[in-house]
Amino acid sequence: MTYERLTAAPVHEVLDLAEEILAERIPIRREFFDRHTIRLSGGDGTVTITAHKHGLDTLVEAETDQVRTSRLDTEVQYFLTLLPYQPGDRRDRAAVQPGGLSRSLR
């Protein structure tokens, strides 16, 4: 499956967060990394995440080798919900709302 998302986060933060979130939630490890791409692989499958700056936004594309209902795809979708839409947006990993959709009131 392929997923796409625009975010205000810079490319390096997107790739770092992808590795951090996915590695903490499922058994997955880095296979490849460069300035715009990270490929993570494990028993649940492989995901390739690319990020490119377009004006003020960063276009994030995540492609998995699994179907949408797989564990890997569920976690990739969760990761994408954590990316800020606008500068200053903050998404928490709190358990209050599924998918980390709760916003901090700070």
Render pLDDT for 57-100 as a digit per residue (tens, 0 to 9). 999 999 999 998 999 999 999 999 999 998 888 766 654 444 44
How do residues 7-66 score in pLDDT, each as one tens digit?
999 999 999 999 999 999 999 999 999 999 999 999 999 999 999 999 999 999 999 999
> Is 17 within the bounds of a domain?
yes
> Is 87 within the bounds of a domain?
yes
> CATH code at 75?
3.30.310.80
35 Cβ neighbours under 8 A, 6+ residues apart:
11, 12
b/e map of 15-46 (b: 16 or more CB within 10 Å)? bebbbebbeebbebeeeeeeeeebebbeebbb
Cα R_g (the chain), whole angstroms? 13
pTM exceeding the 0.85 threshold for the entire prediction: no
> Is 34 within the bounds of a domain?
yes
Q: Write down the pLDDT at residue 24.
A: 95
Distance between CA atoms of residues 9 and 26, nearest Å: 23
Structural domain total, the chain: 1
